[in-house]
Amino acid sequence: MIDLDEFRAKARDWLSTMAGEFGREARRGLSPEQDLALGRRYMAAKYEAGFGGINMPVEFGGRGLSGLHKIVFETEEMEIGFPTVYFGISLGMPIPIIMKFCEDKAWVRERVIAALRGEEIWCQLFSEPAAGSDLAGLRMKAEQDGNGWKLNGQKLWTSHAHLADYGIIVARSDPNVPKHKGLTYFWVDMHAQGVEAKPFELLDHEVVCNEVFFDDVKLTDGQRIGPVGGGFGVALATLMIERYVAGDADGFGPTIPFFVDFARDVELNGRPAIEDGRIRSAIARNYALRNGLRSIRDRAFLMMEAGMEPGPEGSLSKLASVRSRQKLSELAIDLRGAAGLAYDPDAGSKEDWVSSWLSVPTGRIAGGADEMLLNTIAERILGLPQDHRPDKGVPFNQIPA
């Protein structure tokens, strides 16, 4: 196994050679289509250089290194602002799930390498208009159709569905049993007849999310992932991963050093804000919090390398990291006064406080809304009793709509 410090040095050297062509400055002013094309080229170059699939098994086209090596690389990569956002969901949730659960390993290897090279994009079709964060409450129908299946219904908030080639999806295959037991999990071709993705703008004008409609979409039984009626278990495994992917210690916003530099430049009562005790206290609190979250994340990767499932601590990581980002962004905007309201549509959430603050609501929904995460923390970490659930054990079709 390559030493982490040695690996960091090699990664940093390679990334520095890529910054001019693919980094933040090279992306300024590009259209979404141009940025995606640049991202695909960057992903291919990254794979050829041996930095794609760092902790994925060699048999699937990865490097077979540890999760800590992956974290080291991505920490360095994020600082330069490469166009990787289009591929994060693919490599974060769908690809690990098909590697674990799909039986056709040759097909899986093709999909993994294509995703690592940026040639194919996956999306995750979970949320629905009527279900919110209650994944077990979804109404998308999966009906058996000869030797296969037929999908009908709608999904919502699906990131990059309009760009995706494939998706993972959970649907209700049996409404006559309690809601957690009647779900089945599939992969779906997003170019199949009957699939329609409609993208829409978010508050920060980013076009990322979609509503997706399924009208008699045909699936083979070979597209089923896991047992019939066992979809909630596979979905839970997906969410456990997502809450770490969506729980970057900085909440995918500006870093603590970025805020420190900002506080040195902006004035509070005629002096640099960094000299004010309240500002220094906020820095210290957020620094301690984010380092604790990094420890939780590192522990989760070590567990996965040991063949264990990541624990419910991902809920804590995701919840706290995005809240930290929101509070720090609010503080930075307040410190600038009226000037803090200026909005730069070309700025990213890692380098601009207004962009960061505007995109926080999306982060607080992705991977489970705050209320769902608080329930998970209460029940599965603190061991508190469950909330009263009147639909528990009731067949889904008997629950009042």
For residue 266, give the nearest of 358, 332, 189 by alpha carbon: 332
pTM (2 d.p.): 0.89
Statement: 4-120 belongs to CATH 3.40.50.920: no
Which option is the CATH number for 123-236: 3.90.79.10, 2.40.110.10, 3.30.70.1290, 3.40.50.1220? 2.40.110.10
As a whole number, mean pLDDT of residues 169-198 equals 98
How much is the pLDDT for 16? Answer: 97
For residue 227, give the nearest of 166, 169, 186, 175 by alpha carbon: 186
- Rounded CA-CA distance 145/139 in Å is 18
Angle of helix 67-80 versus helix 4-22 axis, rounded to 10: 30
Residue 242 among the catalytic residues: yes
Residue 244 has pLDDT above 70, yes or no: no
Structure token digits, residue 31: 């259209």
How much is the pLDDT for 360? Answer: 87
pLDDT digits (tens, 9 = 90+) for 339-390: 998 888 778 788 899 999 998 888 888 777 888 889 888 998 899 998 888 8
Domain boundaries, the chain: 4-120, 123-236, 246-381
What residues contact residue 106 under an 8 Å CB cut-off, 6+ apart?
A: none
Residue 5 has pLDDT above 60, yes or no: yes
For residue 317, give the nearest of 254, 245, 371, 385 by alpha carbon: 245
- Which CATH code for domain 246-381? 1.20.140.10
Q: Maximum distance among all alpha carbons in the chain? A: 75
Catalytic residue among 196, 242, 330, 351: 242
- Rounded CA-CA distance 235/186 in Å is 10
Structure token digits, residue 4: 């982490």
